[in-house]
Structure 1
Amino acid sequence: MPLTRRSLLKLAGLAPSAKLIGIQLAHAEDRQFQHALTLFSDVKYGPDFKHFDYVNPLAPKIGRVRFGIIGSFDNLNPYTYKGETAGAASNDTLTSSSLDEPATKYGLVAESMWHPQDRSLVVYRLRPEARFHDGVAMTPDDVIWSLEALRAAHPFYNAYYKNIARAEQTGEREVTFTFSEAGNRELPSITGDLPVLPKHWWTGTDAKGKPRNIQETSLEVPLASGSYKAVEVKPGVSFKLKRVPDYWGRDLPVNVGTDNFDEIEYVYFRDANVAFEAFKGDQYDWQLEIKLQGVGHAV
């Protein structure tokens, strides 16, 4: 008689139904999902925290700020190494860092996460309310596609995520990343830095019917999911962002009190002297000065 799963269970003295289910449920209950990841023994903010201590949760959402940039840009796709890229679009990551504690990540797109003691894998559960700017929900399929597409598009991502051996959907809103090695304390946290890209947009076509390619430069503003959206782009000259009033994550504890400007504009200059004169002429509001060997340099 061939040894089927039922016969093996009988040989082991186990009932093939209830007891097996009980084992599976116990295994699932051993996974204690958390709201944060850290390299240390504890995190500063508990699961019910309202906002980070360093923000003003009552800060008004108003005004604009203009930044002066020395340089130019010919690309709006931030996920390829080709071209000079402008940050006209951003996609939310699985987790978000706090600025007042080291090496700690709190859930952003992910509502909770878990890894075993040996850190051989990490599991993320996505928030059901997470959306791209077109209203389409983020899914495990988007997460898995993002990992594969980013590793193919840019050497940085290929190196940064080289120890992720496999990504797979393991629940309705759950993604499991299995690592090529165990015992690396940083791998779960590194995985949380993954931006979640809209697969449906990147695998679609542009206004001219041309298929999009994440590995190539483009002056089409990519579909994003963050708190700001590009509303005006002048290639090589400037781009303007506006705060998304119905941004899906605006009330999350990691976002409360942040992103308070209604409008952000980046103005580009090819010459530092011209940029400084523009600054004095009120063409932008903020300029970073770095002093090196007694000489000031605008950035």
Structure 2
Amino acid sequence: MTPTRTRISLPGAEVSLCEWTPTHESGSPLLLLHGGGADSAELSWGGIGPQLAAAGHRVLAPDHPGFGRSPRPEWRLTQERLVQYVGELVDALRLSDYAVAGLSLGGGLTVGHLLDRPGQARAAALLGCYGLMPRLADGPLGALTHFSTFLLLRSGLLSAMTRSYARNATAMEKGLADLVRDPEARTPGLVDAVLAEAATGTGLATFGEWQRDQVRWNRLRTVYTDRLPSVHTPTLLVHGDRDSGVPLDRIRTAARLLPDARLVVVPGAGHWVQRDRPDVVTAALLEHLDGRADA
């Protein structure tokens, strides 16, 4: 099922929105927020959007400002401004009784939205969520890894390395192997789509701007962990046990801190968990959403 595309005007930004429309709408609308880098609404959610719509949910997935088919916004890319954009999008779409879910950067935006507008979303889901750890890496070398990344960002070397990597199909395929662990899920079509997004879109540059806002020399600027106990929205956490970017222990801690949370660990899956195991993720989301409808 190909999504329909609409253009949404927001303060200082134009957003391209994908929508998968159910034949009979019987569930809550679901807002899906994609991750960073060479990601977009269709890349992250094209594999599960049709199934969620077939189950009765109106599925809405924006290309964040500066990603996919959405042009760069007039405002500076910060976590706070992106969280504000999510709220503006909810208002523009006139969503009520809705659920929100996000991957990685989108997961962090989901948490930020729940904190910014408490009680507004009826349910939430976090996949490989950003904003739950103080540095980019844990372990004995975590501080060094973080500081090295900070230097690469500030020098511009990381951007140059990313651009070079994005033009190399072999390098891209190897990089995707860390995000999507199942070789059968890491199809040539997916590799080509990510390469095309990296080559033609502004997502990598936009993501770099956001990274420079977030990565300080010794820590990440946004860490939501201490505020999780104030999030009373029923929240599903879905995490691959082979996610090398966000340690599973951090997600387990978040699940304990959230007052109403359920954790689904996906065996063998990496960071792009819905690409790795769309069957598991779709089933978990529908169980979570249907459960909230019955509650």
TM-score, normalised relative to structure 1: 0.23
1 or 2, which has the higher strand percentage?
1
Q: Which structure has the larger Rg over C-alpha atoms? A: 1
TM-score (norm 2): 0.23
Report which structure shows greater RCO (CA 8 Å, sep ≥6): 1
